[in-house]
Chain A
Amino acid sequence: DSGVTQTPKHLITATGQRVTLRCSPRSGDLSVYWYQQSLDQGLQFLIQYYNGEERAKGNILERFSAQQFPDLHSELNLSSLELGDSALYFCASSVGGGDVNEQFFGPGTRLTVL
């Protein structure tokens, strides 16, 4: 158990819908990262928040947005969903904002868009 929690575990929805994925980082970690992993693909970095502020942006679509709240939990919002958005979405946390510490990954949310 990494100490990072993600909800829900599974999500099934239809094209055009909007969903929200939630992540709680490890106690004491200030950074939250979101990743997308499609079937048999590598990890695609989406976005990083550090202590409530956006720190880095990766290949995040305009239909996707995220935020980190004062209690440091984070939410990833996916809207106008398409079939291709079906994937595992991982959240990870680390101590610093841009540091050499390892990232701890949550168990992921499996999103299926029908």
Chain B
Amino acid sequence: GQNIDQPTEMTATEGAIVQINCTYQTSGFNGLFWYQQHAGEAPTFLSYNVLDGLEEKGRFSSFLSRSKGYSYLLLKELQMKDSASYLCAVLDSNYQLIWGAGTKLIIKP
């Protein structure tokens, strides 16, 4: 079967750095997405990785290791508005997006 694992919930402090991990086992791999979703709102795209390595985009970075079936999203200089759920999703061999259950990130002042 296809499986994506993320921690259910994480807590971090404003101004700090947090790393949200995602491990996956899918039938094939054509890339990994990270989306942000504020409570009651639509998910919005954060990043896409298909090659190994780190992609940096402002305060957010995403890392991929295909051999380990592993990715992480790194958020720096945390702000209160970063409180949201972060969804990891993998594009499988059929180009179907398999979604993780999401990690709820709570930022404390």
Interface set of A (CB-CB < 8 Å, partner B)? 2, 41-43, 45, 48, 56, 88, 90, 97-100, 102-108
Contact = CB atoms under 8 A, between A and B. Distances in A.
B42 A105 contact: yes
A106 B43 CA distance: 9
Looking at chain B's contact residues, is the secondary structure mostly helix, strand, loop, or mixed?
A: loop
Contact of A100 (B41, B44, B91): B91
Nearest to B6: A42
A98 B28 CA distance: 14
Interface string B78-106: 00000000010001001111011110000
A105 B43 contact: yes
Contacts of B43: 43, 90, 105
B1 interface: no
A86 to B, nearest CB: 14
Contact of A42 (B42, B45, B94, B101): B101
Contacts of A48: 96
26 contacts: A2-B42, A41-B101, A42-B87, A42-B99, A42-B100, A42-B102, A43-B102, A90-B43, A97-B95, A98-B95, A98-B96, A100-B30, A100-B50, A100-B91, A100-B95, A102-B33, A102-B45, A102-B48, A103-B97, A104-B45, A105-B43, A105-B44, A106-B42, A107-B41, A108-B41, A108-B42
A56 to B, nearest CB: 5
Contacts of A108: 41-42
A90 B48 CA distance: 21
A84 B103 CA distance: 23
Nearest to B95: A98
Nearest to A35: B99
Interface in B31-65: 31, 33, 40-45, 48, 50
